[in-house]
Amino acid sequence: MAGMFRSIAPKLIAVLALGGGALAAMQWIDRPAGKDAPPAQAAAVKPAPATPAKPVERRSDQGMTVDPNALRVKRVLQIDGPFRHGDYAWDETGAPATGPVIITVDLRAQTLSVFRDGYEIGAAVILYGATDKPSPLGAFPIMAKHADYYSRTYDNAPMPFAQRLTSDGVFIHGSDVQWGRGTHGCIGVPTAFAKKLFGVTRTGDMVVITDGKMLDVSKAKVG
């Protein structure tokens, strides 16, 4: 079925090189698309392209302070069965009520995960940038948050629970996450999930966007 995702056990530990030569281990959650899932999202309502767009790496992590506790994964959510477009999981049971928050986005697996103090508390299938407007790769601090936001560029389109990642308009925001749709570079998540995500983040929290490969955040500083 198009858009279906397999649920598998986490299996890859990525070691991120941090400023000053220090090392911190972060568990990369490998939830790749299922065998019948397409390789990439399409431009908004068009069929999926045969070859996914190559994202452009744009870094915004210079001078960021990274709490090492945010990079040490202590628990991941167990998702049983298919994980399709429009699906998400959220479970804060057993996770600390406070602690550093980090969001990871894997464009290859088409998923987003949110961790608090190393505990994965949420995961969702995403929409991402279409061929002409690819989502950027890199580490980005949340610059601003807007619960009720509308696009100034694309016909006043609603972007509920928007969290700005770049100065040129890349956000995480609530979307109608359906197979065959894409964004103009933003990361779209189900609106109910976006509301929960909005409630646990604050400006300055780090969002790491990859294409399924380890990201070197050597310019970031360990807090």
Active-site choice (85, 146, 173, 184)? 173
User: Is 173 a catalytic site residue?
Assistant: yes
User: Is 186 a catalytic site residue?
Assistant: yes
Q: Which two tokens stand for residue 70?
A: 């945010």
Amino acid at 20: G
Q: Which of 182, 183, 162 is nearest to 172 (CA)?
A: 162
Active-site choice (85, 146, 184, 186)? 186
Contacts of 46 (CB under 8 A, 6+ apart): 130, 180
CA distance 198 to 25: 26
Amino acid at 194: A
**Residue 186 contacts residue 140 (beta carbons within 8 Å):** no
Catalytic positions are 173, 186
